[in-house]
Structure 1
Amino acid sequence: MASSFFTKTPSLSAIFSIYTSLSAFTILFRTLLHQIIPVQIRDFIISKFTDYFSAYFNSNFTFIIEEQCDYVTNQTFRAAQVYLPTLLSRISTGSLLVSSSNLKNPMAKPKFGIPVKAKIIDEFQGIRLEWTLFSAKDNTSYMSKQKRYFHLTCKKEFRDKIMSDYFAYIAKSSVKILTQRDNLNIHTYIPEHKTWEPAIFQHHTTFETLAMEPELKNTLIRDLDAFSNGKDFFKTVGRAWKRGYLLYGPPGTGKSSLVAAIANHMNYSIYDLQLQSVKDDAMLRQILTLTENRSILLIEDLDCSSGADARKEDKEDDENQTKKKKNNPKVPLPQNVTLSGLLNFVDGLWSSCVEERIIIFTTNHKEKLDPALLRPGRMDVHILMDYCTPFVFKKLTALYLGIEEHDMFEPIEKMLLAVKATPAEITEQLMVSKNPDVTLKGLIEFLESKKIG
């Protein structure tokens, strides 16, 4: 039986001959395949076979969460970006991103973030999840930039659970984190990179320290609180969840301080937009759709947005004020930005792109603005930031000198009713000395010189 088996076994030369024939056939087949089938079709077939076998043998499922979605920030990416830093103790790779942008306090505790390709493990209702941040060059636009995205990996059987419950959970968690955040940011737009760059915002002005008439201050606080709690109301009446404020008045009357007080009260970051850097309406839409929920869009000095034109008009005001008032010229918007394009983000269709947003315009010359900006419904609240009043003076004196009464208060208050002095001018005089007698005497001399001038 054994001898029969060995007699049927092919010889080494036969095996080598068969192998040579198969190799030749394989080479011939591959050559014909490459000559007959185009490269695109071959790549497509190979990719389909690869996807099929990887899906069949792989038990994991991966969600890809890109930073940008339909020309706006992907809110799921944003939620993950806020939520994941709370899980840094579960990072499985041996690295952390460390940053500190607090210029006022170099000794401040740094912030820790997620490096690219670092893996973070989360657990949700007993399901193990793995997050990874990736970054790659995006060459789809005319200007290449970094494209960031998260991979969220779980077992296939939990895919539906993650889709229905987990994403809603991190969205809710991120809102809670943002509401309780310690640091706010002020963003400036960088046209070259098409991104908003943040910096730590640490303006210490609050409504408690803001020198403003109490009736106006209380009205504004009630309005802000009603807006913050008005999600259901805005949805019911079919309006975008946004609020517009126009701050107007002479320079130095505290418009910037009021913006800071609003940001600190609402715990909102600020997007400071310089209209001079905007080329056209299309760019304006792109810029504003990149802002985030729960934020302030600030457009300062709207009457000076055209730069040289505005300065020229101011000069003409001085030379021929009566004629200017009669003609009442309007300051144009810069370059190719149209009024309709701007209004679209105030109360048009594009105003609904971001929720819970406050839009603030500031101007030194309300009379120069186009009437279309001032119509009812455009800016919900118009706030006059006026010259210093006796109440504002006493508030500033309490803050800077630590006193609430003084013999010189009465003559100073009478002078303030007759002389136009801005809170900024009064503050500058109050900072001359810590001695109330010296400071208040100098303030009286300053007001007298303004009265004479």
Structure 2
Amino acid sequence: MSSSSSYSCREYLTVLATAAGTAMALGAAYELRDMASAAARSFLARLSPRRVVVIDETDGLSPNRLFDAARSYLSSSSSSVSATARRLRATRLEDSSSSGAGAGATVVTIDLGEQTTDSHDGVSYTWRLLVSPNPGANTNNPHTKSGHGGHGGHAPTKSLELTFHKKHTEKALSSYIPHIISAADEIRSKNRALKMHMVEYDAWAAVDLRHPSTFATLAMPAAHKRSIIADLDRFVTRRDHYAKTGRAWKRGYLLHGPPGTGKSSLVAAMANHLRFDVYDLELPAVSSNSDLRRLLVGVANRSILLIEDIDRSSSVVVNGGGALRNHRDAGAGDEDEDGGGGKVTLSGLLNFVDGLWSTTGEERIVVFTTNHKERLDPALLRPGRMDVHVHMGFCTPESFRVLAGNYHSVEDHDMFPEIERLLEEVPVTPAEVAEVLMRNDGADAAFRDLLEFIEGKRMEGGESKE
């Protein structure tokens, strides 16, 4: 019995030893196979005319901005790149802006494992989206996919493979990838919600800017709109020009005209066109030049700085002595007048508009509005401070037709000739016309009401002259 038991133990140990040896041999075989596969891939890579650039989702513990940019670029909202992929993945953006491009849009991009093609500057590129179980894992290795040899517990990591011909390596790195980053920045700018920043407790506070005004809906002559759009589009593409000429990358606008002529709507249309945030600066709310500098330094790049109604006597007085003063303090002593008592001075404002402080940011539009251009200090009006002067006048026949289309979708009507004739004789603001058109649901009733309104203003004007 003891001999049989001893034999069984020896046999058992022999089987275990054989199994262990087999396992070791298999492990060695796997390692040898992996090494051979790696060597084969390396050898084939040397022979292949194609080059592969791997863009991981993360760079260490930080997100890889190039990966995010490439994913944005490959979305269908930015290009037709994804159209060549067989399997797509769709997501829907939040309603970020009532008039912004991409608001509430469905964005489609390539799914995991899919590939798609793109061309740029005469070169063809192939993109492929992969996923690895852990950072650094090879998605094409079946052992890695099943967890063999992997580091369990790591979250899956995505990566993009960019493939192109070796002879285009320089063009891919120096032209195509920068193009992707630039396109992605533009996409994100279009899809994000615009912000209106205002001064609260000596600091900027932001709310969503959902003003629907666009150049298409703006009640002003078409030639003026085309001129402004061309100027804005030229400005945002001239970084190198401003750097070459040694000037701060900014543009100054003065919008002047009677109240109700659309100055604020034009600013909103500019913001929506450029996808720029608006910083609304009320000078009476700023107590000193130092506070003004701190606020203005906090204005982001690619933004519009708005200073409304700079001439308004109830808030700011612009005087030849160079001080911007609260009207309620206009009778104060000299200490307040020259800025020594903490008031914002004209020189302090101008130093930011075109002095050394103007170089603390770039790609900024500075907009002043006024109802009375003649009241402004001439120092504010010269080129370099207010480069473009836009007169916002009373409603013209052309502007009226824009408003009629906006409110009633009407391009022509039997009453148009009479309305247009009256508009050429009677000063009526676009805001007044819009109000009359908006309070009537039907076009016929709206235009009759408008005729009566303008006739009433003409009679009032005649009586006042008498």
Assess if the C-alpha contact under 8 Å between 2:250 and 2:364 holds in 1: yes
Tell me whether 1:381 sits opposite 2:388 in the alignment: yes
Tell me whether 1:425 sits opposite 2:406 in the alignment: no
Q: Cα 1:199–1:346, aligned 2, differ >3 Å: closer, same or farther?
A: same
Assess if the C-alpha contact under 8 Å between 1:242 and 1:357 holds in 2: yes
After TM superposition, give the deviation of residue 440 of structure 1 in Å. Answer: 1.1
Q: Cα 1:407–1:340, aligned 2, differ >3 Å: closer, same or farther?
A: same
Provide the residue aligned with 2:420 in structure 1: 413
- 2:350 maps to which of 337, 343, 347: 343
Assess if the C-alpha contact under 8 Å between 2:97 and 2:192 holds in 1: no
Question: Displaced runs of 4+ in structure 1, greater than 3 A?
Answer: 100-104, 168-178, 327-335
Query: Whole-Å Cα distance in 2 between the matches of residues 103 and 184 of structure 1?
Result: 7
Number of residue pairs matched by the alignment:
292
Query: Whole-Å Cα distance in 1 between the matches of residues 321 and 449 of structure 2?
Result: 40
Tell me whether 1:441 sits opposite 2:451 in the alignment: no
Provide the residue aligned with 1:190 in structure 2: 200
Instruction: Please identify, of 333-342 and 176-185, the stretch whose mean Cα deviation from structure 2 is larger.
Output: 176-185
Provide the residue aligned with 1:294 in structure 2: 302
Tell me whether 1:241 sits opposite 2:241 in the alignment: no
Query: Whole-Å Cα distance in 1 between the matches of residues 97 and 398 of structure 2?
Result: 34
Tell me whether 1:213 sits opposite 2:221 in the alignment: yes
Q: Cα 1:328–1:447, aligned 2, differ >3 Å: closer, same or farther?
A: farther
After TM superposition, give the deviation of residue 297 of structure 1 in Å. Answer: 0.5
Q: TM-score, normalised by structure 2?
A: 0.56
Query: Whole-Å Cα distance in 1 between the matches of residues 323 and 371 of structure 2?
Result: 12
Provide the residue aligned with 1:282 in structure 2: 290
Tell me whether 1:371 sits opposite 2:381 in the alignment: no
Equivalent positions of 1:21-36 (< 5 A) are none
Partner secondary structure for residue 224 of structure 2: helix
After TM superposition, give the deviation of residue 205 of structure 1 in Å. Answer: 1.1
Assess if the C-alpha contact under 8 Å between 1:303 and 1:364 holds in 2: yes
Assess if the C-alpha contact under 8 Å between 2:426 and 2:457 holds in 1: yes
Q: Cα 1:309–1:282, aligned 2, differ >3 Å: closer, same or farther?
A: closer
Assess if the C-alpha contact under 8 Å between 2:97 and 2:210 holds in 1: no
After TM superposition, give the deviation of residue 179 of structure 1 in Å. Answer: 2.7
Letter in 2 for 1:189: V
Assess if the C-alpha contact under 8 Å between 1:247 and 1:360 holds in 2: yes
Query: Whole-Å Cα distance in 2 between the matches of residues 265 and 103 of structure 1?
Result: 13
Query: Whole-Å Cα distance in 2 between the matches of residues 177 and 354 of structure 1?
Result: 22
Query: Whole-Å Cα distance in 1 between the matches of residues 444 and 356 of structure 2?
Result: 58
Query: Whole-Å Cα distance in 1 between the matches of residues 295 and 211 of structure 2?
Result: 24
Query: Whole-Å Cα distance in 1 between the matches of residues 323 and 449 of structure 2?
Result: 39
Assess if the C-alpha contact under 8 Å between 2:400 and 2:430 holds in 1: yes
Q: TM-score, normalised by structure 1?
A: 0.57
Equivalent positions of 1:392-411 (< 5 A) are 392-411=399-418
Q: Cα 1:430–1:224, aligned 2, differ >3 Å: closer, same or farther?
A: same
Which stretches in structure 1 are left out of the alignment for 5+ residues?
1-60, 64-78, 87-99, 110-122, 129-167, 314-326
Assess if the C-alpha contact under 8 Å between 1:328 and 1:368 holds in 2: no
Query: Whole-Å Cα distance in 1 between the matches of residues 136 and 295 of structure 2?
Result: 38
After TM superposition, give the deviation of residue 376 of structure 1 in Å. Answer: 2.6
Q: Deviations over 1:322-358 (max 9, x none)?
A: xxxxx99999443611111111111111111111000
Q: Deviations over 1:405-450 (max 9, x none)?
A: 1111111111111100000000011112122221111111111111
Structure 1 vs Structure 2 CA RMSD: 3.7
Partner secondary structure for residue 351 of structure 2: helix
Partner secondary structure for residue 285 of structure 1: helix
Assess if the C-alpha contact under 8 Å between 2:284 and 2:316 holds in 1: no
Query: Whole-Å Cα distance in 1 between the matches of residues 296 and 386 of structure 2?
Result: 17
Letter in 2 for 1:383: V
After TM superposition, give the deviation of residue 227 of structure 1 in Å. Answer: 0.3
After TM superposition, give the deviation of residue 276 of structure 1 in Å. Answer: 1.0
After TM superposition, give the deviation of residue 298 of structure 1 in Å. Answer: 0.6
Q: Cα 1:288–1:171, aligned 2, differ >3 Å: closer, same or farther?
A: farther
After TM superposition, give the deviation of residue 171 of structure 1 in Å. Answer: 9.4
Assess if the C-alpha contact under 8 Å between 2:300 and 2:361 holds in 1: yes
Q: Deviations over 1:201-250 (max 9, x none)?
A: 11111112212101111011110000010001000101000011000000
Assess if the C-alpha contact under 8 Å between 1:330 and 1:369 holds in 2: no
Partner secondary structure for residue 271 of structure 1: strand
After TM superposition, give the deviation of residue 172 of structure 1 in Å. Answer: 7.0
Which stretches in structure 2 are left out of the alignment for 5+ residues?
1-59, 73-93, 105-131, 138-177, 327-335, 337-342, 461-466
